[in-house]
Amino acid sequence: MAAALAPWALRQAERLLVLPPDPAAAAPYRQLPAHDLLHAVACHATSCDADCAGSLPPPPGLVRELLCRPWRDEALELLRSQADALRRRLVGDTVTYVVNRNLNVSNHCVQHCSFCAFRRDPGEAGAYWLELEELQERARQAARAGATELCLQGGLNPAAHLDGSHLAFAERLLRALHEAAPGVHLHAFSPQELVFFAERDGVSLDVVLERLRAAGLGSVPGTAAEVLSERVRRVLCPEKLTAREWVAAVLQIHRFGLPSTSTLMAGHIETPADLAAHLLTLVALQGAARERSLPGFSEFVLLPFVGQAAPAPLRSRVGRDQPDLQAMLCLTAQARLVLGGWIPAHQPSWVKLTLAGATEALRWGCNDLGGTLMEEHITTMAGARGGTAQTPAALAAAAGGLGRPVRQRTTLYALLP
């Protein structure tokens, strides 16, 4: 996979990738009372201005201690209130959402991730591949329903090529969707998918990004990140990009002026040290983008692991079919504090947590309820209980129930009337 990536990006990725901090790094912070520990983290979170110019991320040991410490009772409420206060300071009280449609084009995939209940081999029960005409009709339906975004992701389909070119197939797909839904923002293709196109066609990632941007690509989902720790990735997704390669791909995506989201899949086999490495790597990437006045990450999305239909070995190891809501709310607050002003917009997953759980996350540092989706297959096939669609009215009512104002937004967080 590294052959498709630019040498400069791989070199920079090696510098930016934060390794899981060892226990000794956290030792200076272990005796701090909860209030003082949170104050120490908040000093870094609030020092980051709009451009994060000159701001330093919290030390890895401090973040490890924040994530390691058992937060209960009064300390847990203090954590929640600190994250909520930081959210209010950074983005205010308004809750946002986007009217979008999710298009999971196909679940045919050459990889075998240990957490994935979505992938299928061609001809296997449950396998599907939507025709171009069907995708266009769904795009037209979304536009008529007021959608401002189409989100495209799917498996790494070895048969999805046009005259032998996977990149040409992706170009044709983007252009066909623009034709069906003019003016709708195309948020498409994870870093893993983009590198897959490059590898299969024998071209560089830069060529892929240049051609897809010309075909209408507006921004990139920051998925396939899972957890940016090699210890974890060797179990979850050994065939995917390494953590360093994912970071390099994102550097190139941002260099082309394409914003991306950032994600974290949690609640499985990761440790607090792995989570610290992941969050601090996102901070480092955002800092690198801001230094060059590049768009960088538009948001952070916590993606709790859903294991009900996951492959048996990982499901057995995790021992949980649905997310632990309290643990995910705690991590939501911790992520808000660590990411601070580097990534101001935070979004829970109502598909994974249910709308009630996602609404509660608005009290733990989140300011956005995500999209209407209209359909969703990847998480639903894993056994998620949140459903596959929400209406704008339902999202507005959820925020209104907390006494918070609500506004529709674009993919890149411009507020709509």
Q: Domain ranges in the chain?
A: 2-408
Q: Which residues contact 85 (CB under 8 A, 6 or more apart)?
A: none
Quick check: 395 and 406 in contact, CB under 8 A?
yes
Tokens 């389909």 belong to 157
pTM of the model: 0.97
**In this predicted model, which residue has the larger pLDDT, 158 or 56?**
158
Quick check: 128 and 106 in contact, CB under 8 A?
yes
Tokens (6 digits) for 377? 């297959």
**Residue 94 class from Cβ within 10 Å (0-12 exposed, 13-18 middle, 19+ buried)?**
middle
How much is the pLDDT for 1? 65
Quick check: 118 and 391 in contact, CB under 8 A?
no
Q: CA-to-CA distance for 161 and 200, rounded, in angstroms?
A: 9
pLDDT tens-digit series, residues 273-304: 999 999 999 999 999 999 999 999 999 999 99
How much is the pLDDT for 91? 97
Across the range 10-25, mean pLDDT stands at: 98
How much is the pLDDT for 52? 54
Q: CA-to-CA distance for 140 and 258, rounded, in angstroms?
A: 25
3-state SS assignment for residue 298: strand
φ and ψ of 87, to 5 deg: -55, -45
Q: CA-to-CA distance for 26 and 64, rounded, in angstroms?
A: 6
Q: CA-to-CA distance for 296 and 355, rounded, in angstroms?
A: 28
Q: CA-to-CA distance for 386 and 382, rounded, in angstroms?
A: 11
Strand partners, 101: 150
Tokens 């009709």 belong to 137
First-to-final CA distance of the chain: 44
How much is the pLDDT for 382? 86
Poorest-confidence range of 110-119, 330-339, 371-380, 408-417? 371-380
**E strands, 44-202, where?**
95-98, 100-104, 149-153, 185-188
| 265 pLDDT higher than 70 | yes
3-state SS assignment for residue 215: coil
Q: Is the dihedral of CA 348, 353, 354, 355 positive or negative?
A: negative
Tokens 């970071």 belong to 247
Quick check: 142 and 372 in contact, CB under 8 A?
no
DSSP at 383: T
| 2 pLDDT higher than 80 | no
Tokens (6 digits) for 90? 């950074």
Average pLDDT of the chain? Answer: 95
3-state SS assignment for residue 171: helix
How much is the pLDDT for 333? 98
Q: CA-to-CA distance for 115 and 307, rounded, in angstroms?
A: 7
Quick check: 113 and 224 in contact, CB under 8 A?
no
**Residue 124 class from Cβ within 10 Å (0-12 exposed, 13-18 middle, 19+ buried)?**
exposed
Q: In this structure, which topology does domain 2-408 adopt according to CATH?
A: TIM Barrel (3.20.20)
Q: Which residues contact 259 (CB under 8 A, 6 or more apart)?
A: 219, 220, 295, 296, 297, 298, 412
State the pLDDT confidence band at 38, using cuts at 50, 70 and 90.
very high
The shares of helix, strand and coil residues in the chain, as percent rounded to the nearest 5, are: 50, 15, 40
State the pLDDT confidence band at 53, using cuts at 50, 70 and 90.
low
Task: List the one residue out of 399, 411, 341 whose CA is nearest residue 367.
Answer: 399
State the pLDDT confidence band at 199, using cuts at 50, 70 and 90.
very high
How much is the pLDDT for 56? 83
Q: Specify the pairing of strand 185-188 against strand 149-153.
A: parallel
DSSP at 183: T
Q: CA-to-CA distance for 309 and 289, rounded, in angstroms?
A: 38
Q: Specify the pairing of strand 95-98 against strand 368-371.
A: parallel
